[in-house]
Amino acid sequence: MNNNIHPPRGFRPSVSWKAITPFAVAAAMLTSAQEVQANPSQEANWYISAGAQQIIDASGSGPDIDFGNSVSVKGNSSYDGEQALNIAVGREFNLSNDSRRSPNMRVEVQYWDGSVHRKHVDLGVVSVNLNDRIDLRALFLNGFIRLAKGDNSRLWFGPGIGYAWTSFPDASYATPCGCLKAADSAGLALQLKLQGERMVSEKTSIFGEVGYVNFQGADSDGGVPSAHYGNLGMTTVGIGVITRF
């Protein structure tokens, strides 16, 4: 028997324009920027960056419910991406005196803060619609290598590794078994980004980026039944600004 249990009013349907907007804004910013030639002496310097991202796709396994005595149920969840903000401080390095032929490197420490909207959980015999949010935070160490360079634009690619905090809210009210308990975790997070940068002044540039972020899942506390939530993987698009100093 399939029971449909609905939470209080206020369910938020997905809005496709949210996924399109960052692409449009980033494209407009990158194409309308004035022609400013990059200064190699400014490139190899400290910088601070700030950005906003739209999570356009989010997925994760579970929850898997353990009732004890070797009885368990594997569940499935569906998510909508929300937004994320980030700020970073880093340093860019020239690897040789010829800045056009030798790829520059960037190393930065980044704080990332975002969320995912949890829409639906299917436990087989029980299927519930939810209207809650998974909170995600991380401190990343990112490294980038410059793939290409023009007079006023550059293309970067690189990975990041970090320490993350993941918080699944309590939704035990939504099921007869009280299975969907709150869960928090702290652990590994990974990300990968492709970033296009365009100079707008000698010390300032704007960027558009696409990326993938993976956060560790979590296990609920408080005995059985217990819930295990799998890792969350998210595809992102974003825009931001970089200022060198």
pLDDT of 101-135, one tens digit each? 566 899 999 999 999 999 999 998 888 999 899 99
Which parts of 44-182 are beta strand (E)? 46-68, 71-93, 105-122, 126-149, 153-168
- Tell me the mean pLDDT in the region 125-153: 94
Mean pLDDT score, 5-26: 45
At 65-77, the pLDDT tens digits run 999 888 899 999 9
Supply the pLDDT for residue 190.
Answer: 98
Spatial separation of the C-alpha atoms in residues 119 and 122, rounded to whole Å: 10
Single pTM value for the model: 0.82
pLDDT, residue 90, reads 98
What does the pLDDT read at residue 32?
Answer: 45
The confidence score (pLDDT) of residue 21 equals 52
Q: Which domains does the chain have, with CATH numbers?
A: 3-8+45-244 (2.40.160.20)
